[in-house]
Amino acid sequence: MSNTIHFKKIALIGIGLIGSSLARVIKRQNLADQIAIATRSAETLKRAKELALGDFYTTDNAEAVKDADLVMISVPVGASNEVAHEIANNLKTGAIISDVGSTKVSVIRQMQPELPTDVFFIPGHPIAGTEYSGPDAGFADLFVNRWCILTPLPNTNKQALEKLAAFWQACGSKVDQMNPEHHDLVLAMVSHLPHIIAFNIVGTASDLEKVTNSEVIAYSASGFRDFTRLAASDPTMWRDICLNNKDAILEMLGRFTEDLASLQRAIRWGDGDALFDLFTRTRAVRRGIIEAGQEVDAPDFGRQAVLQHAVPKTMNGSDLEKPKPD
Amino acid sequence: MSNTIHFKKIALIGIGLIGSSLARVIKRQNLADQIAIATRSAETLKRAKELALGDFYTTDNAEAVKDADLVMISVPVGASNEVAHEIANNLKTGAIISDVGSTKVSVIRQMQPELPTDVFFIPGHPIAGTEYSGPDAGFADLFVNRWCILTPLPNTNKQALEKLAAFWQACGSKVDQMNPEHHDLVLAMVSHLPHIIAFNIVGTASDLEKVTNSEVIAYSASGFRDFTRLAASDPTMWRDICLNNKDAILEMLGRFTEDLASLQRAIRWGDGDALFDLFTRTRAVRRGIIEAGQEVDAPDFGRQAVLQHAVPKTMNGSDLEKPKPD
């Protein structure tokens, strides 16, 4: 059974989308006797308290980690060094220290030198999230059926590793292991590049002179709106990812732009066969993602299911409507 | 009230996602006494018949349009000339001929010279669709709350235009008008560029040597999967769009790659402020789309709502699972 895993005290450093989802699932699955919550912002802490996400609240990271058996750090990756520095002297011997950062080589470089040798530092990354952020955005099911990648350092204590894996499994995750460099390369492709492309195309659309923003908005259902979800993600988090996984991101960007140049050439010269070949090949990938349980099968991401109760106000009207001018 | 609009006979040329959605909404809203359905493929026609989408079925386009008051052409834009040529001699005087193609300048160039002068040719484009295709993919609500853009030619008959607009409103659409050139520029940005980028990034991901396809699939929930929906769209339709809106697409692609080069430079040189600025600016666009009723407000496109009844088989498990090798 799942809930053989239990901690006396879990400290959550950072209580945004990921931290607050952890708080909720820890409570629901009874994974700890006590949850301590720390965040830099007094306002966010107040909100966490209102939401009753934990048992102990502080703006002092060092205070939160005292006596904790598991410390989960969920902050923008650029803050990793500072957090490690702050908590280092208060960690309990034998505690497991982990994080949820989207880049791993940089986080290890920032944290490992700060941490004492009598704790188990095991970096991790749950592949889960939404475009929303903050303590209100979290929910207990966020990790269900999603992968969590652990990137243990050489000679990591096997028992501690198994304990952390069991924790994530109890949160609903499937657990994988890889080395930090490979993690950063994989994530550059499946997460960082898509976000960068999405931010970029939304920026391009905003800057047009000949097409108004209200036209972009009105007709976005023809494709554009799919990109706006990723482009609405937390700016601080994504700035830090770009700064901390530069090499892998630049490699994937290079491949993407090379392929795009080739596709652009096929469009310019009217090479219908090349276009048809690419457009056929890409269909299969989505099928694979749906079969792997990583995507819904419903058309249009299931938006129709969400909208089915939101019937439009009117289906009549005689005048030609216009999108509002900017 | 809406249903003052009624046709004796509507002919649907092409019975894929759009054509079959039209058939369903025409029937549900009682917009015609008779629906004639024509498609080139005998297999597709058989399926349309099984689905009872119309009253009369034929593989002969010319046969279908006889006595029709409204002819709606829903075929890949590259087939427009051929269809216009086939139906030209069988059209009823005063009939309205329209289409649903995603490019308008090219469709007009292909169709107008073929059509007789005693019919009303009014090109159109409903901004609606899913990643699925074929007669089974359609549904009567597809056009609800979506815009339909009409691109009438100079001196278009005002009554015929109002009748066509009323037809789309009766299908649930909001109707807009613009000139064909502007339509093609707007759609290049909001639809064609996003699809091309999506096809391209899925192609790039498929071609990596150091990251396996099963890794791409397993970890796709971190962003990549959002692009796979557009990249699963009908290859013939999208080949034809690329071939028939080349200039506008190349203009938008040029702007996109220019912006991407600048973003790439910011990443390479660690310009955190530039990254943060762009990532902040793009958030607002999604808010605008949601407020305009063109997107769901639920996190993650509402996938969670779709999945809520699809509980994972297990939340326990002790072994570290691995994605399957390729």
CB contact under 8 A, B312 and A223: no
Residue B316 has pLDDT above 90, yes or no: no
Q: Which residues between 76 and 115 in chain A have a beta carbon less than 8 angstroms from any beta carbon of chain B?
A: 102
A274 touches chain B (CB under 8 A): no
Contacts of A294 in chain B (CB under 8 A): 217-218, 220-221, 225
Judged by CB atoms closer than 8 Å, whether chains meet at A306 and B305 is answered as yes
- pLDDT category at A314 given cuts 50, 70, 90 is very low
How far is residue A244's CA from residue A241's CA, in Å, rounded to a whole number?
A: 5
Contacts of A141 in chain B (CB under 8 A): 304
| Distance (Å, whole) CA B90 – CA B84 | 10
The CA radius of gyration of chain B, in Å to the nearest whole number, is 23
Q: In the prediction, which pLDDT does B324 show?
A: 44
Q: Write the CB contacts of A277 (distance below 8 Å, at least 6 apart in sequence).
A: none
- pLDDT above 80 for A238: yes
| pLDDT of B111 strictly over 90 | yes
In the block, tokens 């952390």 appear at: A164
Cα of A114 to nearest chain B Cα, Å: 24
Is pLDDT of A1 > 80? no
User: Tokens at residue B13, please?
Assistant: 């040329």
**Angle at CA A195, nearest 5°, toward A191 and A199?**
175
Q: For residues B233-244, give the mean pLDDT.
A: 97
Q: What is the pLDDT of residue B307?
A: 63
In this predicted model, what pLDDT tens digit does every residue of B169-216 receive, in sequence order? 999 999 999 999 999 999 999 999 999 999 999 999 999 989 999 999
CA distance A265 to chain B (A): 9
SS3 of residue A149 by DSSP: strand
Res A308: pLDDT: 56
How much is the pLDDT for A244?
A: 98
Round to the nearest angstrom and report the end-to-end CA distance of chain A. 58
Instruction: Indicate the pLDDT class of residue B82, thresholds 50, 70 and 90.
Output: very high
φ, ψ of residue B273 to 5 degrees: the values are -65, -40
Q: Mean pLDDT in chain B?
A: 92
Mean pLDDT of B275-288: 94
Interface subset of A 191-230, CB within 8 angstroms of B: 191-208, 210-211, 213, 215-230
Distance from CA of B15 to the nearest CA of A (A): 18
Residues of B in contact with A139 (CB under 8 A): 304
pLDDT tens digits for range B5-50: 999 999 999 999 999 999 999 999 999 999 999 999 999 999 999 9
- What CA–CA distance (Å, rounded) separates B242 from B220? 27
CB contact under 8 A, B298 and A306: yes
Tokens at A266, concatenated? 């096929």
DSSP B49-65: HHTT--SEEES-HHHHH
Q: Are B77 and B101 in contact (CB under 8 A)?
A: yes
Cα(B91)–Cα(A32) distance, rounded to whole angstroms? 75
Note the pLDDT of residue A151.
Answer: 98
Is the confidence at residue B143, as pLDDT, over 60? yes
Q: Which residue among B147, B200, B246 sits closest to A263, beta carbon to beta carbon?
A: B200
Decide if A231 touches B, using CB distance below 8 A: yes
Taking the Cβ of residue A62 and every Cβ of chain B, the question of whether any pair is shorter than 8 Å is answered with: no
| Confidence tier at B133 by pLDDT (50, 70, 90) | very high
- Predicted confidence at residue A313, as pLDDT, reads 36
Number of Cβ pairs < 8 A linking chain A and chain B:
433
Least confident residue range of A208-217, A297-306, B108-117:
A297-306
Which pLDDT score, from 0 to 100, does residue B303 have?
A: 86
Interface membership of A2 toward B (CB under 8 Å): yes
- Among A199, A224, A243, the residue with its CB nearest the CB of B278 is A199
The verdict on B160 touching A (C-beta cutoff 8 Å) is no
Give yes or no for a contact between B285 and A216, defined as CB atoms under 8 angstroms apart.
Answer: yes
Nearest chain A residue to B281, by CA = A203
Chain B interface includes A153 (CB < 8 A): no
Q: Which helix (H) or strand (E) segment is B32 a member of?
A: strand B32-38
B301 touches chain A (CB under 8 A): yes
- What average pLDDT is seen over chain A? 92
DSSP code of residue A296: -
What pLDDT shows up at residue A321?
Answer: 42
Q: Is the pLDDT of residue A53 over 80?
A: yes
Q: What DSSP assignment string belongs to B304-320?
A: HHHHTTS--S-S---SP
CB atoms within 10 A of CB A33: 12
What is the per-residue DSSP string for A71-91? EEE-S-GGGHHHHHHHHGGGP
- Give mean pLDDT, residues A199-227: 94
pLDDT at A307: 63
- With vertex at residue A188, the alpha carbon angle to CA A187 and CA A189, rounded to the nearest 5 degrees, is 85
Of B189, B231, B306, the CB nearest to A286: B231
Query: A306 contacts in B (CB within 8 Å)?
Result: 296, 298, 301-302, 305-306
Q: Is B18 exposed, middle or buried (0-12, 13-18, 19+ CB in 10 A)?
A: buried
Q: Does residue B222 contact residue A129 with C-beta atoms inside 8 Å? A: yes
- As for the ipTM of the complex, it is 0.91
Helices (H), chain A: 17-28, 42-50, 61-65, 80-87, 105-111, 158-170, 180-187, 193-206, 213-218, 225-228, 235-244, 246-268, 272-281, 283-291, 303-307
What is the per-residue pLDDT for A2?
Answer: 46
User: For A104-143, how does the pLDDT look when each residue is reduced to its tens digit (9 = 90+)?
Assistant: 999 999 999 999 999 999 999 999 999 999 999 999 999 9
Q: What are phi and psi of A95, to 5 degrees?
A: -70, 150
- Mean pLDDT across B111-126: 98
Give the nearest partner residue to B228 out of A203, A229, A285, using CB atoms.
A285
Q: How confident is the model at residue B302 (pLDDT cuts 50, 70, 90)?
A: confident
| pLDDT at residue number A309 | 46
Q: What is the mean pLDDT of residues B281-293?
A: 92
The two structure tokens encoding residue B18: 């759009």
pLDDT for residue A305: 72
d(CA B72, CA B9): 11
Instruction: Express as a percent the part of chain B with pLDDT over 70.
Output: 93
| Chain A positions in Cβ-Cβ contact with residue B219 (cut-off 8 Å) | 127, 147, 149, 186-187, 190-191
Of the candidates B204, B253, B306, the beta carbon closest to that of A259 is on B204
Output A114 or A303, whichever has higher pLDDT: A114
Output A255 or A306, whichever has higher pLDDT.
A255
Q: How confident is the model at residue B317 (pLDDT cuts 50, 70, 90)?
A: very low
Structural domains of chain A in order of their starting residue, each with its CATH number: 2-178 (3.40.50.720), 182-270 (1.10.3660.10)
Tell me the chain A residues in contact with residue B199 when contact means C-beta distances shorter than 8 Å: 263, 278-279, 282
What are the tokens at A274? 């090349």
pLDDT at residue B308, rounded to an integer: 56
pLDDT of residue B4: 83
Distances (CA, A) of B265 to A41, A250, B258: 32, 9, 11
Environment class of A308 (CB within 10 Å of its CB; exposed 0-12, middle 13-18, buried 19+):
exposed
pLDDT at B312 over 90: no
Smallest CA–CA distance, residue B151 to chain A, in Å, is: 13
Coil, helix or strand at residue B107: helix
Residues 39-58 of A with CB under 8 A from B: none
Range of weakest confidence among B2-11, B54-63, B247-256: B2-11
> Which residues in chain B are closer than 8 Å to A272, comparing Cβ atoms?
239, 242-243
Give A130's DSSP letter.
-
User: Which chain A residues are Cβ-neighbours of B129 within 8 angstroms?
Assistant: 222
Interface touch B224/A189, C-beta < 8 Å: yes
| pLDDT of residue B263 exceeding 50 | yes
